Chains A and B, each alone.
Chain A
Amino acid sequence: MKLLLFNNDKLGVYKGDKIVDVSSALSHTKFYSSQDMMNEIIANFENYKSKLQDIVDANEGVSADSIKINAPLPYPNQLVAMAVNYMEFGARSAPAPINAFLKSPDSVIGNGDTVVLPAADAAIFHHEAELGIVIGKKGYKIDAKNAYDYIFGYVNFIDVSARGLGNGSFYWGKSWDTFGPMGPCITTVDEISDPQNLDIKLWVNDTLRQDFNSNDMGHNIARCIEWVSQTTPLEPGDIIVTGTNHQGLGAIQDGDKIEIEIQNLNRLTVYVKDDLKREWPKGIDQATADRAAGRTTSGGFGERN
């Protein structure tokens, strides 16, 4: 099932290209936010599943163009992002030491929304296409062997990054408002047979930038869940984003249209606005790609025009 939020507080399910409003499945309960509503659905999905399916079967749905799709987890309690977690098409001899950071829940935006570049003097702003893992069950100190028991579903995520601020500080680089595009939907686990074998693609203005497979991940999904949950208990509605392959990162700038599509997770489209109208070369940032692959240890980022 592909679950989404739309028109702020409506719960929807994709039926082909159309979207069926299934909000009536939870009309008896009062929620203080749409995140709370999604957490309830996720935590108790087994109770809701057939009810949702019945509503989907009985309705035709509306076209996606006629509604506003929101991020499916609009304000996650924990948005944990894996750092440096790809083998860069096998260029690395070993995975980087496992590491993560928290991204502000206020960074989350949804389909059709706009990434607003701050005036801060970053060297460059990058898109990072990532597979997001949506947690479905409470767990602490989870063993990698059982990690898949804790996954509810998968979602497209773009970890927008401001480089060169605060000497590598993740708060400063990653937590800007609007720097967490997510969606359009959460695809439940039963529809993804092998999450470690998914094509991940990202386009800027219809030109393909990132094109990699989740099989190139440094620390695999099970290990990420195990490691993150050593530190903090995970709960339904939390999300772990699993890192990006840096080969293919490039600048984002005013007026850009960014699309990400992971196999079977549908396509997410967002836009970019920069009041300062800064310009970088369009295309791939080769300096970053070379550094991430270990072809060089020095150098900066793609130079601003």
Chain B
Amino acid sequence: MKLLLFDDYRLGVLNKEGKVVDVSSNIENFNDMPPNRRVVEVINNWSKYQPVFSNSIENDDGSDLAGHKILPPLPKPGKMVCMAVNYMENGTRSEPAPINAFLKSSNSVIGEGDTIIMSEQDAIVFEHEAELALIIGKQAKNANSADWRDYIFGYMNFIDVSSRGLGAPPMDSFFAMKSPHTSAPMGPFIVTADEIPDPLNLDVKLWVNGKIRQEYHTSDMAHKIPRCIEWASSITKLNPGDIVPTGTNHRGLGPIHDGDKIEMEIENLGKLTVFVKDPLKRKWADETRLERQERGEEVTMAPRIK
């Protein structure tokens, strides 16, 4: 099932024709709940709501998505625990980097059609990182990796926008680099786990202005999903509605600029489109890290040219 928030934080489910059916009235006290809690309520009580929603989409023609404002499906998640450096880079790494993560502020979330507003701070470059995000369905604390499926409610597209060089590197500077306002585009839907039988066998794609930048497969993930859940939950409990973006393959990363349109699509998760605004209109070389690497450049992040 594909769940979304739309218009004034109504809860919607897509029917077979891909039209949105408003299921908000099935949820008790819906209007009293803050938006994020509406979705957490559904996740917490999925066995109750699942048959109700199934029935709704069978019997309701729904309405075109185009006529609605699609919102981020978890507008203020309790936590976003993001995996750091978690791909084998198409097998070019000899071994996974040591497992690591960081927290991203829930105030960085934006959704479909929204705009990333680049910080005026003097970052080296701003890059897109297309990521498969896990949506937690059940509290995990010291979870056993073998039970990983028990903890996953669904999956979602996620772009971990990164402002390189901010903070105080080499000290862990993830806060300044990853938490800037509008740095977490997500959506357009949460797709429930039953529709994604193998999350480690998905194509991930990201385009900037129609040109493909990132194109990789989740089978290249370094610390696989079961290990990510086991490890992250050994430190802090993961709660229903928490988001765990699983990292990106860096080869296709490149700069984002004022006026850019960014699209991201993971197989079966729908397409997410967001835009970019830079009040300072800065310019970087329009190249990916891989293109620069193949030309023998030592610094693979695109240099600033204006």
- Residues of chain A at the chain B interface (Cβ within 8 Å): 30, 32, 36, 75, 77-78, 80, 83-84, 96-107, 118, 120, 140, 166-172, 175-177, 230-233, 235
Contact = CB atoms under 8 A, between A and B. Distances in A.
Nearest to B80: A102
B108 A232 contact: yes
26 contacts: A32-B33, A32-B34, A77-B106, A78-B107, A80-B175, A83-B171, A83-B172, A84-B171, A96-B168, A98-B168, A101-B103, A101-B174, A102-B179, A106-B79, A118-B234, A167-B98, A169-B84, A172-B101, A172-B235, A175-B235, A177-B236, A231-B166, A231-B179, A231-B180, A233-B107, A235-B107
Contacts of B193: none
A210 to B, nearest CB: 22
Given A167-B98, A232-B180, A32 B107 contact: no
A169 B78 contact: no
B168 A175 contact: no
Interface in B193-245: 234-237, 239
A105 B78 contact: yes
B192 interface: no
A176 B76 CA distance: 21
A32 B40 CA distance: 12
B237 A102 contact: no
Given A77-B76, A231-B179, A233-B107, A99 B34 contact: no
B105, B106, B121, B172, most chain A CB atoms within 10 A: B172
Query: Which 3 A-B pairs have CB atoms at the shortest separation, nearest pair first?
Result: A97-B168, A99-B168, A102-B103
Contacts of A99: 167-168, 171, 173, 175-176
A75 to B, nearest CB: 7
Nearest to A98: B168
Contact of B236 (A78, A120, A167, A175): A175
B62 to A, nearest CB: 29
Given A106-B237, A176-B236, A232-B105, 5 more contacts: A84-B171, A96-B168, A171-B102, A231-B166, A232-B181
Nearest to A84: B171
B117 to A, nearest CB: 11
- Measured as residues with beta carbon below 8 angstroms from the partner, the interface class of chain B is 35 or more
A247 B76 CA distance: 38
A104 B236 contact: yes
Interface string B46-83: 00000000000000000000000000000010110100
A167 B99 CA distance: 10
Given A172-B235, A175-B235, A100 B176 contact: yes
B32 interface: yes
B300 interface: no
A168 B78 contact: no
> Chain A's interface: helix, strand, loop or mixed, by majority?
loop
A176 B37 contact: no
A166 B181 contact: no
B168 A171 contact: no
Interface of B: 29, 32-34, 37, 76, 78-79, 81, 84, 98-108, 119, 121, 141, 166-168, 171-176, 179-181, 234-237, 239
A168 B171 contact: yes
A199 to B, nearest CB: 28
A102 B101 contact: no
B158 to A, nearest CB: 17
Contacts of A102: 102-105, 175, 179
B235 A230 contact: no
A171 B100 contact: yes
Nearest to B166: A231
B235 A171 contact: yes
Nearest to A102: B103
B37, B102, B235, most chain A CB atoms within 10 A: B235
B236 A232 contact: no
A234 to B, nearest CB: 8
A171 B79 contact: no
B173, B236, B239, most chain A CB atoms within 10 A: B236
Given A100-B176, A102-B175, A231 B119 contact: yes
A60 to B, nearest CB: 35
A101 B172 contact: yes
A120 B181 CA distance: 33
A32 B100 CA distance: 32
A169 B176 contact: no
Given A30-B32, A96-B168, A176-B236, A166 B98 contact: yes
A176 B235 contact: yes
A122 to B, nearest CB: 11
A102 B81 CA distance: 11
Contacts of A36: 34
A104 B103 contact: yes
A126 B102 CA distance: 21
B107 A77 contact: yes
Nearest to A238: B107
Given A167-B98, A231-B119, A175 B103 contact: yes
A230 B100 CA distance: 25
B141 A177 contact: yes
Nearest to B173: A99
Nearest to B41: A32
A105 B166 CA distance: 24
A25 to B, nearest CB: 19
